[in-house]
Amino acid sequence: MSFENQLVKWYINNKRDLPWRENKDPYRVWISEIILQQTRVVQGTKYYNKFIKKFPNIQSLASSKESEVLNIWKGLGYYNRAINLHKSSQYIISNLDGKFPETYYDIIKLKGVGDYTASAISSICFNEFNPVVDGNVLRLLSRYYGLKTPIDSLKAQRKIKEIGQKLINKTNNPGDFNQAMMEFGSLVCSPFPDCESCAFSSKCIAFNKKEVEIIPVKSKKKKSKERFFNYIVCIDNNYNTMVNKRLSKDIWYKLNEFPLIESKREIKNITTLPEFKEFTKSKSIVINEEKYKKERIKHILSHQILYITFHHLSIDQDISQGVHLSKLNKYNFPVPITNFINKLLI
Ligand code: SF4
């Protein structure tokens, strides 16, 4: 039996029972594919179930507020994905009569949808012959064909796409073939594969050349960027504090935070910093330095390491338009700030 047909047969017998596989509703497949980018299936399934319960269809998602979508997304990271889902649902309602697009070329026009997601949806839901290329597929095919071009290069991704296209064209069910490649790469040809019991071992080049441990090849990893965030948590006598919204295209876009001063290195005493002096002047507040406390945490993102210090400060003036501490849970803060708030409110 050919590689592609054997792979599909394996998938039919071994696929996991996952909620978005219950039917081929493109809305549900779309949501699952976006959630599963950068997220493991176990964690992604919990978010998927929560998301579908709250927004069971395009109409309910489009008519919701962006803050409600961000609230469901809280903790998943990459918040732009949630914002794009929301925008795209409104685009589908206003421009496509509420009907999910049915071809690769129309699906890829949705905000936040790239080649991978458009290939997955168009093959699974509309039977189009577009191969997916994700981390699992790159690992499986580069091992099976013995490719040593670094998989994080465009050249390798193009080559794998080409191979995938030839394979998928020979199958009867492109959706099952794509899911088979991803499922096999995730469950069998994993980073630590069980090659002895793999049905493809006799033809797998990496296995036969004893190169499974070196393929897929990756180019040198870039060092994560280190950033130093100083949050000013001022609390007045009425237990009000200040909350801002992040509006620059950066991490945590459109989420809330306390007033922030980002510095080049760690700050021992924020009250000596010129930016802090400017901040207190602009807000007409005076800090009670005797009650100054700080708490430092390290938070790791995929390409950044954040050293976050919460500078906890008491002030005697009333904060105008402040937010009462008991109302902070109504805002969408990123996880490390939410954790800090939970401790603050105990
Ligand atoms: S033999 Fe090992 S490396 Fe080759 S396809 Fe199977 S699991 Fe992957």
Domain that holds residue 159: 3-208
Whether 214 is covered by a domain: the verdict is no
Q: What angle do CA 106, 112, 117 make, to 5 degrees?
A: 65
Taking the C-alpha atoms of residue 274 and residue 262, their distance in angstroms, rounded to an integer, is 12
Tell me the CA end-to-end span of the chain in Å, nearest whole number.
63
Residue 282 CA, ligand 1 centroid: distance in Å: 62
Nearest CA to ligand 1 atom 4: 204
Written as six digits, the tokens of 225 are: 């960027």
Q: What is the CATH number of the domain that holds 338?
A: 3.90.79.10
Picking from 180, 208, 236, the residue at the C-terminal end of a domain is 208
Residue 141: CB atoms within 10 Å: 25
Within a domain: 130 = yes
Marked catalytic residue, from 4, 33, 183, 257? 33
CA-based radius of gyration for the chain? 25
Tell how far the Cα of 181 is from the centroid of ligand 1, in angstroms. Answer: 12
Q: Number of structural domains, the chain?
A: 2
Helices (H), 252-334: 274-283
CA atoms within 13 A on the CB side of 11: 21
- Residue from 147, 187, 189, 190 to probe ligand 1 pocket by mutation (most atoms less than 8 Å from CB): 189
| 8 A C-beta contact, residue 76 and residue 47 | yes
Instruction: State the closest ligand 1 atom to the C-alpha of 199, by its place in the atom list counted from 1.
Output: 6
Tokens of 323: 């937010």
Same domain assignment for residues 199 and 277 = no
Together in a domain, 160 and 70: yes
Q: What is the 6 CA–ligand 1 centroid distance (Å)? A: 14
Same domain, 158 and 244: no
The CA distances from residue 319 to 89, 240, 287, 322, in Å, are 38, 7, 12, 5
Whether residues 183 and 80 fall in one domain: yes
Tell me if 271 is assigned to some domain: yes
Q: Is 73 exposed, middle or buried (0-12, 13-18, 19+ CB in 10 A)?
A: buried
190 and 237 co-located in one domain: no
Per-residue DSSP letter, 192:
S
Please report whether residue 216 resides in a domain.
Answer: no
Q: Choose one of 144, 177, 208: the last residue of a domain.
A: 208
pLDDT of residue 178: 97
Residue 33 known to be catalytic? yes
Closest atom of ligand 1 relative to the 198 alpha carbon: 6
Q: Is residue 283 situated within a structural domain?
A: yes
CB 149 within 8 A of CB 159: yes
Residues 229 and 180 in one domain: no
pLDDT for 346 equals 59
- Tokens 């994993």 -> residue: 190
CA of 180 to the centre of ligand 1 (A): 14
Residue 112: C-alpha distances to residues 82, 107, 218, 254, 300 (Å): 9, 10, 26, 16, 24
> What's the pLDDT score for residue 145?
97
Q: Could you identify the atom of ligand 1 that is nearest to the CA of residue 194? A: 7
Per-residue pLDDT of the chain (346 residues; tens, 9 = 90+): 899 999 999 999 999 999 999 989 999 999 999 999 878 899 999 999 999 999 999 999 999 999 999 999 988 888 899 999 999 999 999 999 999 999 999 999 999 999 999 999 999 999 999 999 999 999 999 999 999 999 989 999 999 999 999 999 999 999 999 999 999 999 999 998 888 889 999 999 999 999 998 999 988 777 889 999 999 999 999 999 999 999 888 888 889 999 999 999 998 889 889 999 999 999 888 887 778 888 999 999 878 999 999 999 989 888 888 999 999 988 999 989 999 998 876 5
Same domain, 34 and 181: yes
Give the pLDDT of residue 340: 93
Q: Is residue 84 part of a domain?
A: yes
- 280 phi and psi angles, rounded to 5 deg: -65, -35
Q: Which residues line ligand 1 (CB under 6 A)?
A: 143-144, 188-189, 193, 195, 198, 200-201, 204, 206-207, 212
Q: Which CATH number characterizes residue 98's domain?
A: 1.10.340.30
Task: Give a yes or no: residue 195 inside a domain.
Answer: yes
Phi, psi at 241, each rounded to 5°: -135, 180
Atom of ligand 1 nearest to the CA of 139: 8
Question: Could you tell me if 197 and 229 lie in one domain?
Answer: no
For helices 174-187 and 135-144, the axis angle rounded to 10 degrees is 80
98 occurs within a structural domain: yes
Residue at a domain's end among 162, 183, 208: 208
Polymer length of the chain: 346
pLDDT of residue 302: 74
Residue 230 CA, ligand 1 centroid: distance in Å:
47
Verify that 238 and 172 share a domain, yes or no: no
Q: Are strands 225-235 and 260-263 parallel, antiparallel or unpaired?
A: antiparallel
Return d(Cα 325, Cα 158) in angstroms, integer. Answer: 52
| β 240-241/260-263 pair status | unpaired
270 and 176 share a domain?
A: no
Residues 6+ positions from 343 with CB-CB distance below 8 Å: none
One domain for residues 116 and 176: yes
State how far the Cα of 111 lies from the Cα of 336, in Å rounded to an integer. 28
Residues 186 and 287 placed together within one structural domain of the fold? no
| 7 token code pair | 């792979």
